[in-house]
A = this chain, B = another copy of it.
Amino acid sequence: MTLPPNPEALLQAMQAIVGPTGCLSAAADTEPFVTDYRRIYHGKSPLVVLPATTEQVSQVMAWCYAHDVPVVPQGGNTSLMGGAVPDDSGTAIVISLKRMNRVLAIDTVNDTMTLEAGVTLSAARAAAEDSRRLFPLRIGSEGSCQIGGNLSTNAGGTAVLRYGNMRDLVLGIEVVLPDGRIFSSLKGLRKDNTGYDLKHLFVGAEGTLGIITGAVLKLMPQPRATSVAFVAVQNPDAAVKLLGEARALSGQAVTAFELISAPALDLVLGYLGDVPSPLEGRHDWMVLIELTSGTDEESLNATLMQILEAGLEQQWVVDAAVASSLADVQQFWRIREEISDAQTRTGGSIKCDVSVPLSRVAPFIEQASAAVLALEPATRMVIYGHMGDGNVHFNPLRPAERDAKDFLAQWYKPVSDLVDGLAHAENGSISAEHGIGVAKRDDLTKYKSAVELELMWQVKRALDPKNLLNPGRVLPRID
């Protein structure tokens, strides 16, 4: 067992590396780093270290390795799974990357951007835009989350259908290993078959194998045209069919295809207050469709109309509102994007972030909804998300009159187990984009084979033999 290091020695050693302003040890200063932003996970840490360079991260890690000090790497601290805050043992220091926030280079011929890991997603997007390029990752926390965290969690969001997950958007990385060695491969190559592609080990590892300190990311052409519609559909099966038709008719123009259930729309409109529904009347199921293209607006709009007409003809589409201005586009998206905050404000949401093959989305929603409603009939079935990726945020919400804490105490565990189990039975995932952290760590023993868990540990032990990096996260204990 590792004993906490002498706090004075630790502080002195870290100050010698990062300077006095790079160390936070007062409880009031460390508080924002040891509690997640939803205030669900509360940890303890003697010290938060804020290195300014990769070299400093390396020195910090080398010292910690020599002294058996566990380290929790932290980006924007927006994990939903408790993956970025320390546990309550008080043994681990936090390394925050927030001072490493420089965009180092943009190459508009190679369409790449090189940056430090602490750049926020919104700053990265803005830097790309300044060079008339698109960095396509789009998630709700973009103002706070950082590129290093986006990589470590393989972030997804609302543009994955067109552009892929974060893993698909990275060409090169720089990583500090648990013993302080620096693995630097900041290359902007589309093709490089020279041995193991090590970056994929660190992407999605949630900081358990190394600390990502820099990256080379892909840039895309900015779309010249955007067409958006808010569409009432018959049911999820009709939505899947509509997506198939949209792809067939538009090539790769479908950028987002987001499902929204009636209770999700009710909730978010109640939360926003001043925003009307884009559609008249109430509909059980809706989708937000976004097409983008590099060509003209007119032909893209024509394609969207073609898709909607085909959908009406097949009776998949019940009604549709097409955005006729940028203000409409923003309003439609605001409705979609504020669902998450509306849930947080309301309280009493059971958050299941599952994915299944697209061909199984509709039956999955039907089965899982029926199963939840059989347990608690007045539950509001807030179901929404990235249907185009087979990824549904399936978030049963407490009945309106029910106390949030009571509801969660009674149902969180049985309902999420039920929903995860049904997704798993469809050859699906129990965490499509939110990761594992500590929240779902022990569930993995139910849903992964023994061989897969052994392999994860073989890799972990090979790279972090002292188990110092983000200990207790991602990997469940196995025999």
Contact = CB atoms under 8 A, between A and B. Distances in A.
Contact of A359 (B109, B434, B435, B440): B109
4 nearest A-B pairs in the assembled complex, by CB-CB distance: A251-B294, A200-B200, A462-B462, A109-B359
A221 B248 contact: yes
Interface string A60-91: 00000000000000000000000000000000
A377 B359 CA distance: 60
A59 to B, nearest CB: 15
B431 A196 contact: no
A428 B323 CA distance: 45
A110 B458 contact: no
Contacts of A187: 427-429
A221 B201 CA distance: 30
Contacts of A435: 193
Which of A182, A250, A358 has its CB near the most chain B CB atoms (within 10 A)?
Answer: A358
Contacts of A261: none
Interface in A178-224: 181-198, 200-201, 203-205, 209, 221, 223
A86 to B, nearest CB: 20
A433 to B, nearest CB: 5
Contacts of A442: none
A16 interface: no
Give the secondary structure class of A's interface.
Answer: loop
Given A358-B109, A429-B187, A452-B185, A251 B295 contact: yes
B193 A433 contact: yes
A193 B356 CA distance: 13
Contacts of A186: 427
Interface string A139-175: 0000000000000011010001100110110000000
A209 B197 CA distance: 13
Nearest to A196: B456
A238 B426 CA distance: 51
Interface in A259-308: 293-295, 299, 303
Given A167-B197, A462-B461, A183 B449 contact: yes
B188 A357 contact: yes
Interface string A366-409: 00000000000000000000100111000000000000000000
